[in-house]
Amino acid sequence: MNILNKTISVLLVDDDEINNFISIKLIKKAMLNTDITACLNGKFAIDQLIKIQQENPDNLPDYILLDINMPIMNGWEFLDEYTRLNIDPLRKTKVFIISSSVFSNDISRAKSYTIVQDFISKPLNVERIKEIFEVDQQ
């Protein structure tokens, strides 16, 4: 699917501000038309998503890039709450775990969630971002 002409909305959920800065730069390099929102913990992200769902569900993000280890609400708690609240009943949003964890139990746990598309190891790079966003690389 070629989505180069469509604005892609991304919710980046990661407590590392430097990592967010780098990820945003890489996403913008890989994708011209992006609208990226960064949240520093899962609770803030859930609150943002609930607000979007209530006001205009069509504005739910196309992608959520979710870290696992965060304060207040970690990635697992986010996934549980996201699922419990049925924030995206039409499954418009594709959720990816983006983590520096190399533990096989984290990878297995991530894949046990039906809403999680894939587990991606940090650091991100432009090629991997293009794969995530299904961009035709021509």
Q: Is the peptide bond before 57 cis (omega within 30 degrees of 0)?
A: no
Q: Are 135 and 8 in contact (CB under 8 A)?
A: no
Tens of pLDDT, residue by residue over 6-24, are 788 999 999 999 999 999 9
Whole-prediction pTM: 0.90
- Measure Cα distances from 5 to 1, 65, 136 in Å: 11, 21, 12
Stretch 96-125: mean pLDDT, rounded? 89
Tens of pLDDT, residue by residue over 21-44, are 999 999 998 887 899 999 999 999
The whole-angstrom separation of Cα 68 and Cα 76 is 6
Radius of gyration of the chain (CA): 14
In a domain, 10, yes or no: yes
Tens of pLDDT, residue by residue over 48-95, are 999 999 999 999 999 999 999 999 999 999 999 999 999 999 899 999
Q: Are 70 and 100 in contact (CB under 8 A)?
A: no
Q: How many domains are there within the chain?
A: 1
In a domain, 9, yes or no: yes
Which domain covers residue 28, as residue numbers?
1-62+89-97+132-138
In a domain, 34, yes or no: yes
In a domain, 14, yes or no: yes
Q: What is the phi/psi pair of residue 94, to 5°?
A: -100, 125
The whole-chain average pLDDT of the chain stands at 89
* pLDDT band per the 50, 70, 90 thresholds, residue 102: confident
Q: Using CA atoms in the order 58, 40, 79, 117, what is the torsion angle rounded to 10 degrees?
A: 70
